[in-house]
Amino acid sequence: MGNINDMYTEVTSVQNSISNIDLNLHSTEIKKFEALRIPIVGYEVMEERARFTIYKLKVEDDKRDQSWLVFRRYTDFVRLYNRVKNQQPNLMLPLP
């Protein structure tokens, strides 16, 4: 496994492609994700053009006995939070 800078660069294109996912999922599609747990297992403060934090998440799929790592910036959490709150205003969600 490379360093966090290399891994962050690799996931940036994936991140951009999933940023437009429709949150109006069909109930059978939602069931696919019921067995997922996604704890934040670490973070690192990066110094490039600006200072920002990268969060390391471990996606755990209990149904398939698989796990993988995903790296996200705090702003990614804020964007997701805003999209979910627009569709589910009464849902209480914490930000990291």
Work out the percent of the chain whose per-residue pLDDT is above 70: 65
87-92's contacts with Cβ under 8 Å and 24+ in sequence apart are 87/23, 87/24
Report the pLDDT value the prediction gives residue 13, as an integer from 0 to 100: 44
Please give the structure tokens belonging to residue 54.
């990268």
* Average pLDDT for the chain: 77
Mean pLDDT throughout 57-61?
A: 91
Contact 73, 51 (CB under 8 A): no
Name the CA dihedral angle for 7, 11, 12, 17, rounded to a multiple of 10 degrees: 180
For domain 4-87, say whether CATH 3.30.1520.10 is its number.
yes
Domain spans, the chain = 4-87
